[in-house]
Amino acid sequence: MSQDEIITIESLKSIIKDFFGGQIELKRIIVPQLNFSRSSLGSVFIDQKDRLYAIIISQPKLSLGEIKKKLFSANLVYKRFLAPNNDPDFFNNLATEKFKQVYPGLEPKTERDLFYYKSLIKYDPVLVEIKTVKNDLIQTFDSNAKNNWRPCRRFSYNQIKLGDNDGSI
């Protein structure tokens, strides 16, 4: 997805199918082109179950830690990152590899052992489920703006948690 491309539901469906196993049915695009930096572009959309998502494509690839910062600046509070090919062990496997590079011979024992190493994982494209849009305003990166971010679209969204299990990973 380059900055010259027109983002359509069909093009997003194709990316989601190719990289994430087609686990999401798109309903509507909220922001077709959202800049997250000079080299990363994304889209914000809603699926058939009225869940909000952002997809981010960047060259060079960004780490999850960097992506979390960019989502924060765009006023998007993430709920969970979806793994490529719908692989439930994707993040844990890569974080375990990084952990073992630093501590050869040791095995991570808890999720806390992997927390930092998950933030170092780089993959592209990134698909993230959004929990809340802060201040009902989605922002876009703009190097000419005072703090490098400017308003892009007013949009109110807040996912309500039902029960104890919200299904997040």
Question: Within a domain: residue 132?
Answer: yes
Under DSSP, the state recorded for 158 is B
How do the pLDDT tens digits run along the chain, 169 residues long?
444 455 788 888 888 888 988 778 899 999 999 999 999 999 999 999 999 999 999 989 999 999 999 999 999 999 999 999 888 899 999 999 999 999 999 999 888 999 999 999 999 999 999 999 999 999 999 999 989 999 999 999 998 776 655 545 5
Residue 75 maps to a domain: yes
Q: What is the pLDDT of residue 23?
A: 73
Kind and range of the H or E element at 115?
helix 111-118
Residue 37 lies in a domain: yes
163 within domain boundaries = no
pTM of the model: 0.87
Domain hosting 48: range is 9-85+122-154
Q: How many structural domains comprise the chain? A: 1
- The CATH code of the domain that includes 72 is 3.30.200
Rounded Cα–Cα distance for residues 64 and 94 (Å):
12
Which among 81, 167, 163 has a CA at the least distance from the CA of 122? 81
In a domain, 161, yes or no: no
Is the C-alpha dihedral spanning 9, 62, 150, 75 positive or negative? positive
Residue 102 lies in a domain: no
